[in-house]
Amino acid sequence: MTIGEDRNIRFLNNRYEVFDPRTLSGGKRVVELDLGCGSGSFALELARRYPDRLILASDVMIGRLRKVEKNRTKAGVENVEVLRANNLELVGYQLPESCIRRLHILCPDPWPKKRHRGRRLLSSDFLVRAVRVLEPGGVLHISTDDEEYYDLIWRNVELCPYLEKDTSGRGIADVTEVKTEFEEQWRAQGKDVPHLVFRVEKK
C-alpha cells in the first residue's frame, strides 16, 4: 500500500490542530459522525440516504479505513470524509464546538476483561467531550451488545450535564433498520443489541 493510495484518507492522529468539517461545504451541510466506523457500512448507508449531508467516518485502524475508502469509491459516494483519528482527541479538540448534528458510536469494544476496563471509550470524560462537539439539540446514538457496558453507560450519562434521554423516538427513527456488521453478527448469535439515544440540551 503506497501513500498515494491513502490520499483520500485525512490523517488527524498525533496532530494538534482543528479540523472543521463545515469548511468542506461552506458551512451549509448537516454533519454526522460515525465514530469507530469499522468497515464503514453504517456511514456509507447514511451518506447514500442523505446526499445533502456530510458524513464523517472515523477510526484509528488504517486497514479498516482503506476498506471504507475502497467501498466509498466503488459506490460512487461523494459526501463521506474518511478520518484516521484518536477518538478522545477528535472530540476533545480536533473538531470545533457544536459542529455535529448526530454522533453514532455503535458496538464499541466493551473491553470485558477486568484489567482492560480502563480502556473503555464511553467514560464520563468522553461524554463531556461528545457534548462539546454536538449542536444544541444534537443526538448522541450509542449501541452495545454488552449488558455490563450498557449499565455503565447509563451511570456515566447520569454524571454528564446536558444529556437528556430522547423519549420521542425521532432521534434515530430514520436509521433503526440500518445495522453494522458487528450488530448483525451479535444478533445472529441471539444477542440483544439495545440502542441508547440522547439529546444535547445546552443552556
168: helix, strand or coil: coil
φ, ψ of residue 45 in degrees (nearest 5): -70, -40
Please return the burial class of 42, using the count of CB atoms within 10 Å of its CB with bins 0-12, 13-18 and 19+: buried
Rg of the chain over Cα atoms, rounded to whole angstroms, equals 16
Cβ contact 193:157 at 8 Å: no
Q: Is 34 a residue of the active site? A: no
Q: Would you list the DSSP string of 42-109?
A: HHHHHHHH-TTSEEEEEES-HHHHHHHHHHHHHHT--SEEEEE--HHHIIIIIS-TT-EEEEEEES--
Which one is catalytic: 20, 52, 59, 109?
109
Q: How is the beta sheet containing 54-59 ordered, strand by strand?
A: 9-11, 80-84, 54-59, 31-35, 100-106, 134-143, 195-200, 163-165
Could you tell me which residues come within 8 angstroms of residue 70 by beta carbon, excluding any fewer than 6 positions away? none
Which residues have a catalytic role annotated?
109
